[in-house]
Amino acid sequence: MDKLKSKITIILMLIYNLSIIFVFKYLMFTMENVQYVTGLDYKIPKIVLPIGISFFTFKAISYVVDIYREKAEAQKNPLNAGLYITFFPQLLAGPIARYESFADQIQNRKVSFDDISAGVCRFLIGLSKKVLLANNLALVADKAFKLLGTDDLSLAMAWLGALCYTLQIYYDFSGYSDMAIGLGKMFGFHTEENFNYPYISKSTTEFWRRWHISLGSWFRDYVYIPLGGNRVGGKKRLFFNLFVVWALTGLWHGANWTFICWGLLYFVSISLEKVTGLDKMQSHVMLRHIYTMLLVMFGWVLFRAENITDALIYLKTMFIPGGAGLVDADAMVCSKEYLGYLFFGILFTRPFAKKLAKTKLAKLKLSQAFYVITLMVLFLACISYMLKSAYNPFIYFNF
């Protein structure tokens, strides 16, 4: 196929894939905003969002682009192409596997006892993150956000709710990623990591190198670099490229202005870090960490709120106490009842387990036996929690 035909084909395939996600995810949002701006009166259809559409659309785009760039060969068997796009462990909430790294595994994967064993352990760790930490921290976060707009949200409860949601979304999403990676290993597929302790970051640039790694690398390889990346003539073009990437990153998460503003918050922050060199400074490590975590937490408030107005009211309450004052009974009760979940939630954001695994102590048979017993206890605790708790879907199912 000559270059012209290849270009026409790739353009048509991109239009086709982007049209699907636009119709199901953004058509209603676009029509609502056009109606708001123009005042036109027309009926807006109610379109149900298929689960995981953002993930399998991105994988489909990766498939056609990687073949166009000759980084992988086209699948002659349509079932193999379908296996990549609809690989069920990653289909609902990622990680977003790129075809370039997945193609060889479809043809030459091997299932080994070591992979099955490691996959089961990884799956149980992810399950524990979701059921034991994320679901319990969600109870406090949901309570705080439900009090929004009333006089019953105190300053302390607002901070507690924001902290719990910050931990909840991490353990919810990284828990799902662990389960997906673990299931993949059981079937002989090796998937790239999606998280690398993002809450130890000392800049927002570093945060996005550690958070949702597969999404960041997807936008880098398929949007940012084709736009010119960092190697552009001037600052204006560089900031334009960053603006496009972060606006799309926000929009990808949902058809709501809260998500777009959340993405643009990182555009502003990362642009400032590039201008000032803050992300490369070796001094004031603790201050940089505190600044990063505060910005991340404020960003999650924007992400969690139903609309921009709610987000601003919530953020205002975090600094200016309303009718409920500085501290109320809800904040006292929640902080006491969920102290254990908060403690372990904060503790496991640090990579101490990773460092411990590299020591000689971890290689002792007694330590390995203790690790297996711990996983079995966690599994039984998860079963117990799931039997008595309500339906708790993964947050990223919505995207």
239 contacts: CB under 8 Å, gap ≥ 6: 271
Cis, peptide link before residue 95, omega less than 30° from 0: yes
- Angle (CA) 275-204-223 rounded to 5° is 80
Tokens for 158, please give them. Answer: 């607002």
Closest CA to 310 of 114, 85, 144: 144
Can you give the three-state secondary structure of 139-196, one letter per residue? HHHHHHHHCCCCCCCCHHHHHHHHHHHHHHHHHHHHHHHHHHHHHHHHCCCCCCCCCC
Give the whole-angstrom CA distance, residue 382 versus residue 376: 10
Give the whole-angstrom CA distance, residue 94 versus residue 347: 25
Q: Just list the catalytic residues.
A: 253
Locate all alpha helices (DSSP H) within 199-253, ordered by sequence.
204-210, 213-219, 225-227, 235-253
Sole residue written with tokens 């790239």: 192
Give the whole-angstrom CA distance, residue 169 versus residue 134: 7
Half-sphere exposure of 175 (CA within 13 A, CB side): 26
